[in-house]
Amino acid sequence: MSPSDCLVIWTEQNNDIVKKWKCAERKHKANGQDVRCQYYNELCSLLHIIQGALCDAASLELELTVLYNTLLFSLSLSKFCEAGNLLTQGIIRVLEAFGCQPPSSDLLVLWREFLEKFQSPRLLPSAHALLCVQWTLWLSTQQLDSIQKLLLPDSQDGIMSLPPEIENVQVSPERNPPLLLIMPPRALKELAHICTVVTQGVGKMKEGKDSEAVQILQDASMLPSPTSLLAEIHMRTGICLARLGRPQSSLQCYRRALEMGASSRTVLYQCSLLHRQLENCPAEIEMLRLLCTAAHSPVSCDPSSTWVPLLTPDTLLGDPACDSVFAMPSLLEMQHTLAHRCLHCGRFSEAAENYLDLLATLQCDLKQLVNTDVNSRLPRVPDIYLEAAVTLLKAERYWDSIAICEEVIMKTAELIPDRLVLEMPLRDELDDGSLVPFSPEMRGLFAKSGKAEERLNYVLWAGTAFLIEGQAYGWLKESKGEITALTRSINLLVKVRLKNEEWQHRDPGDNAASKVAALRKLKALALASRGVGFMDRKQEGAALQDFQLSLQASPGTEVVELWLTRVLWNMGREEEATTFWKSTRRTSQVPELVPNCSRNAAVFLHLQSYLQEKMPADSESLKKMKLSR
């Protein structure tokens, strides 16, 4: 067999493999790693055979073409190390065949030499094709400076504009038989180009240079690129703009990203964050609602149905999942945020539905629970239950609210001791923030349940649950149930004794102190609510006592003072009522009832609104009171 026969046979073999691959690609059968691996092996063996022969001018073009095709598959399979070796060896071999010693082991020097030698129009396209592979390889292995040095030796500002000889990658002249390529070098160049720019932009983002990143990414969006990457570019631009305080432009970018079909959850999540920042509550809720819906619908990830090109931006840019930009909260957290925002905005019936959805997830979706990580900002489960109960109360679904409260009560009431004495931690223990149980024998083997702080939590949860239940009965006009529940709540809350009164003066940011404050407010609320209940039953004496105790627990609450005035008036003690009312007006600058630092601020706020809503609007006495101010 003469060498020229061999060339013909090898060319045919190469072309056969390429045709087979194109055919498989058309039929969507080329997605699996094993399929690609098979092609890679075939091309590798062909390359080995060709490299077995001496390298001369006639076979050079064929050899470079097969090398190019082989390298594409190795890139697709992420075998970067192998690809690097193949490429370097190939170049050295060719250089040696032309009689020049490889100058050094330094890749850059090698490449300069190579490009200098191969200026003939017949070989230049092959050389440029290999250069594109080298570019892609450097990109995949994060060696941006090598790219910069080789491709743009004299350019200062990024890789936006390429030198003309690289910009216009040569197309190989017609020859017979033609040498087929797996992928045109021009397409490879475009992909490498856009990916390089995006990598730069991402680098700037990570360094915190957002305005530079915006510039780069906006320029990148002008370059030809696959839609999925374009969507990602728009999304990243949006994130940068949001960080730069340009929310409207940012929203615009997100919208474009969504149109391009970006991974919608990430974009929606970013939009919701942005809307929260803009205090656009309805839009934020809408975004969160869409997010939750999207999270419920199964992800269509059937690999055979969609066509995946040989080289995707993901292979060059690395896995986007590692990027913190794409981090998403769990479904539970999103559901809770949605429900909580609805409650915050006063959309009670919507909030109620959302809380019920959240509870349903908690009740039966073990997978979602497992997926929630420790860093989530989800409150404790009983707190979620109580928020749900309050929401249902506000949405006038009283029996549902009572059912949820019963559940919390069932789980906590049994665990509350007759007396819970809390001792102020010593000064040097303050940093700990936890309470020390009064009696040391409380420390059991199971640390959590033995802690006094957890027991204080039980009291707060059960007390709040009884309070909500009492208010629900109040709205249902079941006076007996109302008084019973509220009395139980009060009885629970008074079980806690503080050993020293220094609690009052603690920093409100302190966890333990805020709990003690919450306890006091809760007591005041429960007493006032029961007072309202007694008013409904016309038991003014008992009501008077409750309102007075409530004010004692938490002085200065205006609505309770109003109620107290009203009781006095109704009992015929007008003088006293007027005096009291005037005295309260003088000292009206006391803090509000609702403790802001508490996590349950929403719950308290809505529980307090009960007192206002129960106040008869046409109260004669109050009108007179107002006049006398």
Partner 1 sequence: MEGSRCSVRSLAALDRPIGSATLVWAGTDLLLSNGSNLVLLHSTEGQTVKAVHTFPSPVVCLVPSPNQQGMYALCEHDGIHFIPLPQLLRSSSVPSSEDSGSGSVATNSQVIADPAVSSFVVADGVLVTVGLADGRWRFSLYEIPEASAAQHRKVADRHIFATPAGGGAIGARSQSVAQRPVLFCVYAMCSLTSQPPEGNDCHMLDPALFSLLFGVDSSLIPLPMFVCGLPDGRLCSLPALQQPGDVGPAVKVLHSLEEPIVFLGISMAGDGSSGGLVVVGGFGKVLLVLAEQKEGCKVLAFREWGVAGPVVTACLSGTRLYYSTRSDLLVLSLGNTEQKPTTGLEPASSSQNPVSLNVCSVTALAKPTTASTGAVQLMATSDRGRLLQITPLGGSGGGGPSRLSPSQVGQKMKDLLAGIGNVAERASLLKSSIQVRNTALKKLNQVFNICCLLLPSQNGREGHLDCKPPISFHLTTKWVSLLREESLTLSCVLENSSSYVLECGWTLCIQVVPSYSSLTSEDMATKTYSFPLEELAPGKTLKVTLPLAAGNELRFPVKVCSSLIYSLQSMLGCSELECLLLRGTPWSRLVSDSGLVSLALDAVTLDWLHCLHIDGPVANADGFCSGVSSSADPIQTFLRARRWEQWSCGRSGPSPGSWGVGPFTATLRVSSALLRAMLAGSTLGGPSLCASLLAWLVSSCPGNRSRADLSSPVVCARCPQGDRLKLMAKEVTVEEVSSDGPLLAVEVQLESSSLVSLCGLHHAVLHRLQALLGGVTKATGDLAQLQGRSLRGALERAEALLREIWEARDLVSLGAGVTRRAADMLLHVYTQLRTQPLLIL
CA angle 393, 289, 358 (to 5 degrees): 50
Report, in Å, the least distance between residue 262 CB and partner 1: 19
Question: Among 226, 208, 210, which Cα is nearest to 218's?
Answer: 210
Strands 420-423 and 436-437: antiparallel
Report, in Å, the least distance between residue 296 CB and partner 1: 15
Tokens linked to 261: 């079909």
Report, in Å, the least distance between residue 610 CB and partner 1: 16
Nearer to partner 1, 118 or 466 (CB): 466
Nearer to partner 1, 449 or 552 (CB): 449
Nearer to partner 1, 54 or 445 (CB): 445
Nearer to partner 1, 408 or 553 (CB): 408
Going by C-beta distance under 8 Å and a sequence separation of 6 or more, which residues neighbour residue 524? 550, 551, 553, 554, 557, 560, 593
Question: Among 545, 553, 497, 544, which Cα is nearest to 524's?
Answer: 553
H, E, C per residue of 336-396: HHHHHHHHHHCCHHHHHHHHHHHHHHHHHCHHHHHHCCCCCCCCCHHHHHHHHHHHHHHCC
Going by C-beta distance under 8 Å and a sequence separation of 6 or more, which residues neighbour residue 121? 170, 173
Nearer to partner 1, 104 or 371 (CB): 371
Nearer to partner 1, 209 or 495 (CB): 495
* Sign of the C-alpha dihedral computed for residues 151, 156, 157 and 162 taken in this order: negative
Nearer to partner 1, 82 or 536 (CB): 536
Helix (H) or strand (E) holding 421: strand 420-423
Report, in Å, the least distance between residue 65 CB and partner 1: 40
Distance between the two ends of the chain, CA-based, in angstroms?
Answer: 117
Report, in Å, the least distance between residue 289 CB and partner 1: 22
Q: How far apart are CA 278 and CA 241, in angstroms?
A: 14
Residues of this chain that bind partner 1 (CB under 8 A): 245-246, 248-249, 252, 332, 362-364, 366-367, 369-382, 385, 403-404, 406-408, 410-412, 414-419, 444-446, 448-449, 457-458, 461, 476-478
Nearer to partner 1, 102 or 379 (CB): 379
The answer to whether 96 touches 102, Cβ cutoff 8 Å, is yes
Nearer to partner 1, 311 or 358 (CB): 358
Nearer to partner 1, 1 or 447 (CB): 447
Residue 508: C-alpha distances to residues 433, 481, 504, 514, 595 (Å) = 12, 35, 9, 6, 9
Report, in Å, the least distance between residue 225 CB and partner 1: 17
Report, in Å, the least distance between residue 455 CB and partner 1: 8
Report, in Å, the least distance between residue 359 CB and partner 1: 8
Helix (H) or strand (E) holding 55: none
Going by C-beta distance under 8 Å and a sequence separation of 6 or more, which residues neighbour residue 195? 136, 139, 229, 313, 316, 317
The answer to whether 334 touches 298, Cβ cutoff 8 Å, is no
| Residues recorded for the chain | 629
Report, in Å, the least distance between residue 245 CB and partner 1: 8
Q: How far apart are CA 264 and CA 232, in angstroms?
A: 10
Nearer to partner 1, 31 or 457 (CB): 457
Report, in Å, the least distance between residue 356 CB and partner 1: 11
The answer to whether 32 touches 303, Cβ cutoff 8 Å, is yes
